[in-house]
C-alpha cells in the first residue's frame, strides 16, 4: 500500500480512482464497477444526494472483490476487523467490510457516508441512509446485470420510489438465497424484516 498523501489525492478524484480500479479488478468486475458508479451518480441526481460521493462509493464498492478469501481474512485479522459466523462460512461476504477498510486505508477516503455505504452494500442494514440505499440499489440494477429476477421493474422503480425498490431487491435477494441454500447473513435477514415492517407501517400490504 502506498503512502497516505498520494492516496488522499486519489481519494477525491473519480478519474484516478477509475484508473486504479482498472488495474485492480478483472475486466468484468471493472465494467460492473463503472456501471455501479454511473448508476449511483444518476440516483444521486434524482434524490438530491452528493453525486461525487455516489460515484466514489460506486467505484470503490467492490475494490476488495479480487482478493482471495485468505488475503481478506488476513487483512481482517491484522487490522482487528470483526468477522461474524456467516462471513466465516462464506468469505465472499467479506469484500464489503474489507473494501470499506481499503477505501480508507489504501485510497484515503475519510468520508463516513462513502465508507458506510461500502460496508453495507452486500447485506444492507436497518435504517440505511440515502447513500447506503443508493449504492445498494445501484449495485443490483446497473446496466451490466442481467440475471436477477424483476430487473426491469427494479430499474424503473429505482427512479420512482427508492424505498419500494430497496424492498423489492431485499425480497428477491432473500428468496434467491433461501432457494440456493447458502448461509444467510443475519444482517441480510434483519434488513429485510426491518424494511418489511416499515412498509407495512406505511400501509402497504
The one-character DSSP state at 183 is: P
Q: Which stretch binds Fe ion (CB under 5 A): 2-10, 77-85, 133-141, 190-198?
A: 133-141
The residue (of 140 and 195) whose beta carbon lies closer to Fe ion is 140
| Position 177 contacts ligand DGI (CB under 6 A) | yes
The one-character DSSP state at 92 is: G
Chosen from ligand DGI, Fe ion, none, partner binding at 185 (C-beta under 5 to 8 Å by type):
ligand DGI
Q: Nearest distance from residue 12's CB to Fe ion, in Å?
A: 22
| Position 185 contacts ligand DGI (CB under 6 A) | yes
The residue (of 2 and 178) whose beta carbon lies closer to ligand DGI is 178
What does the angle CA 73 – CA 182 – CA 187 come to, to the nearest 5 degrees?
70
**Three cell numbers, residue 156:** 424503473
| Position 13 contacts ligand DGI (CB under 6 A) | no
The residue (of 12 and 189) whose beta carbon lies closer to ligand DGI is 189
| Position 116 contacts ligand DGI (CB under 6 A) | no
| Position 62 contacts Fe ion (CB under 5 A) | yes
The residue (of 113 and 185) whose beta carbon lies closer to ligand DGI is 185
**Looking at the chain, how many residues does it have?**
205
Residues 6+ apart with CB under 8 A from 135: 36, 40, 54, 57, 58, 61, 117, 118, 120, 121
- Other C-beta atoms lying within 10 Å of the C-beta of residue 202: 9
Instruction: Name residue, grid cell 461476504.
Output: 93
| Position 142 contacts ligand DGI (CB under 6 A) | no
Give the C-alpha separation, 205 to 69, whole Å: 41
Give the C-alpha separation, 148 to 187, whole Å: 20
Q: Nearest distance from residue 9's CB to ligand DGI, in Å?
A: 27
Rule CB under 6 A: which residues touch ligand DGI? 32, 62, 65, 86, 90, 93, 121-123, 139, 173, 177, 182-185, 188
Amino acid at each position: 500500500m502506498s503512502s497516505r498523501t498520494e492516496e488522499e489525492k486519489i481519494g477525491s478524484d473519480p478519474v484516478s480512482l477509475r484508473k486504479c480500479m482498472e488495474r485492480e479488478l478483472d475486466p468484468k468486475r471493472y465494467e460492473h464497477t463503472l456501471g455501479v458508479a454511473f448508476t449511483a451518480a444518476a440516483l444521486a441526481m434524482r434524490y438530491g444526494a452528493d453525486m461525487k460521493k455516489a460515484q466514489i462509493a460506486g467505484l470503490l464498492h467492490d475494490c476488495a472483490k479480487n482478493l482471495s478469501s485468505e488475503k481478506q481474512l488476513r487483512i481482517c485479522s491484522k487490522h482487528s476487523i470483526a468477522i461474524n459466523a456467516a462471513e466465516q462460512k462464506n468469505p465472499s461476504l467479506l469484500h464489503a467490510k474489507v473494501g470499506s477498510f481499503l477505501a480508507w486505508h489504501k485510497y484515503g477516503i475519510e468520508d463516513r457516508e462513502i465508507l458506510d455505504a461500502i460496508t453495507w452494500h452486500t447485506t444492507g442494514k436497518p435504517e440505511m441512509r440515502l447513500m447506503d440505499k443508493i449504492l445498494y440499489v445501484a449495485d443490483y440494477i446497473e446496466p451490466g446485470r442481467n440475471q436477477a429476477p424483476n430487473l426491469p421493474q427494479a430499474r424503473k422503480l429505482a427512479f420512482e420510489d427508492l424505498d419500494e425498490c430497496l424492498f423489492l431487491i431485499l425480497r428477491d435477494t432473500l428468496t434467491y438465497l433461501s432457494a440456493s441454500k447458502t448461509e444467510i447473513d443475519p444482517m441480510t435477514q434483519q434488513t429485510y424484516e426491518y424494511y418489511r415492517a416499515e412498509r407495512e407501517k406505511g400501509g402497504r400490504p
